[in-house]
Structure 1
């Protein structure tokens, strides 16, 4: 067996979406013909909704028989039928390609009359698939297996070397001859065209035995149509951009050829192994999915009565949980908090350049924020706790860990919103956990007169909400959402993203400085304790609150400190950090063996 040149990759895994059992045999045979030895062909049946069991059972039986027939044609290739559930056919195909690491997709196309000539599903897959796409249309009277010859259109383009190789592989599987046709314009000589055709076929298995034809013509499509009869399979290559095959030759052949047709639309070669793997794990949104996401954002951006009621309920539950110092109750409040929906709508509006959506969602966020603040403030005034609980003081200042939680929550929210198969409520809980408790602390602290505690919690809330909005914009951009210029929109998304990024950067810088200050204060606390009472060694320091700062120091000592020693230490710590201190000293016993 002849060896395939390294510059002509042969697919190892090919995905074949199957809907119609009548066309499945031809598609599977074609896929098996172009797959390498010991490769895989996956016949893909996508379930969108429940259908009649009898009809679906019969369809699956016919598809299984088609897979078995293709496997008999190529015993060295594994042909399997797989079933996937998806929201749309396009998403099911793209997800399967990514999960299986497919090198090619074989799509059956019909005679479509839209502006692309291919249909919406095919156009979306061409636009987003991270692999080669082969488009096959059966002849009006001649199926693939009855083709009497394979005719390949071969030009000097690199992709047409691969097109010629595909034609040779299919011809070998069908047991028919191959004809390579090059259309020569009047600016080149036959000799020059002959050399180029020879270079394209050089080293390809079966290339030496291929019938070669050189024909003159300034209209390549018409010249090709004269060389291929309706009983012959015509194979062409085409560039692929934004879901379309652009050559006028392709469109003319689609309209004028009645025989079986195969179009090779290769993916741009990846620059490296890492880049190729990265593309496969990126579930890029198709244009219909982008349109649906923007429509969904328009709906989520509105301030509805349900949104306001849930904001009020979540504020009441979270505030009571903070006052009770109950983590379980606070978590319960997150299950009903609705703040995620306008935040992700804001991200969509900014990324897609839809200023109206961004403005409306921002107003909705402010309405919910105001509702939560008022509810928690009123509870603080009514209940008047003796002192802030530890659940409240723990949210008195942002740290880098808090910023990390907000960033991760924003990623989850944006990704879950864009991907319909993922329950968005799961991400909503994470986002609410980063926003509602600190916002409730602001209201409660203001209600009980703890201004510094309120300001610290407000900084935490602001940092979290800006980080969530900024990272959701990045997630939508990574998934392929772009400014929608085909509609009447105000394209100010670049300015908006820049502003959000600047504010997020400023707040993160404040968090970093605050974290550094906290670390510096702890070092001064340790130093002041150990210098004040000789023989004391500080093992751990925990701080909370703002004024006074609650300091819990765990120490070991040669002799137990007295209450007077604790008072002296408290004064020294307060002087060291420049703030009133409420000290709690925990002394660990030190036990040594006898005689040591």
Structure 2
């Protein structure tokens, strides 16, 4: 990097306030320099100009010819990661404001300053302003700005920041009242407006205005054209919806055909961490073209439709899985996983959430619920052929979900969404279906209910529920990263954003709830296993201490019909235990368990010379 004006190395942190601007194109020079210098003079601050490699330094130097060199430092940024480099170099100076240009040509609502510099917008620990302007626009000497007012933190932050950097700035703040509002309603809204802006009433530079119109956006944009520039605040709000769908205020500036400035507040460590995590995921996964997104959306919509074929395949898959459970055959159950179409409906729920499409969400939810019921009923009916009424090993494997099962479901949801969107790996979907079990747990629920194992049925249903919630959440995140967005217009934006926010937050919350539930159950299972090993070791040691010629092969703790504990112990011994030995062993069992218990001992006779 090469310094101009006051060399960067000579700047001392803490000596004076710092304002920084970042310029990456020549047509941004006039707007950013005029705003940056104007704010620096009004704030008695030093201006640091970061020039990216594509910028023509001769044009930049010419624009700074009339400015005192001791007020400015120009730094060339040659780093491959300019945003990270700029943030790192500014960290010791604690700047009070950073300015960038609003990206118009390659506009993406998620990255108002462009993807390359978005990290500055999200992680700078000070307010950031973004300028949208024509090539030669510069800030006037006595500027007049227009700020649309909503009774929220965004509007107040914009006004406070504007007055903080330039107390002489003339601000007109306005609200829009519908034309059909009567006199009483108009007076009531005007009174509320005055109360909401009472904080700035004493300033001679602050003005209020009531606008009348049916279209709020059109009315605001029309009024803004009579001022030097349009100013909005974009500080607070839902991190998730803003990151995925952009900011409504930013879009208002983008629709405006004149100069505009967006002031954005630092989002805090949590907001910056969220943005950094999302940026990592966004860079990790490719963004699909519009044609590929449309094709993927149609594929998902067809697969998740609640049709007769869909439910028939669910029933057949559940029948295969149920027979595999009764026969204790893993190969048969794998075949059922390949046949089941339930994954399509569940992944479709993830797509519906990202699209904010209530109708599609209802369709996929209905398909999932009906499919779930069909699979359970099918399992119940076929479970009746299990004449022995005992749980097989394959059933037991699906009745005790763990944290690892939830992790498998999350990864499988990512893999399923990725495979659907990427045609090059679409043949991996059968493997995804095998990796995460959906129909087999439901079939286990039905079979367990048919033989009266209700707790096992609940455990199997928890496995299905955790798998479903994890897949919905993970697939929604992947779809968002692939570039899927709601099809907004003026009338549906608020509704679709609300659907997305509520359902996505709910699915994420359910994943957390399931995780906590599985953590508790896993911990209980670990404690139970540890307890059983401890009891078994104590019994074995006690048998040796009494010199009883017996080997403990199995013990089981259960509850009797009266609610008391019962311990069934199986010993291999050449003889039966004496009454005294039985009594001492019973006392040791009670001591190990910590509560009264009935002891039942079963002896498997062996010869005295046997090692077993």
What TM-score, normalized by structure 2, do the two folds share? 0.48
What TM-score, normalized by structure 1, do the two folds share? 0.50
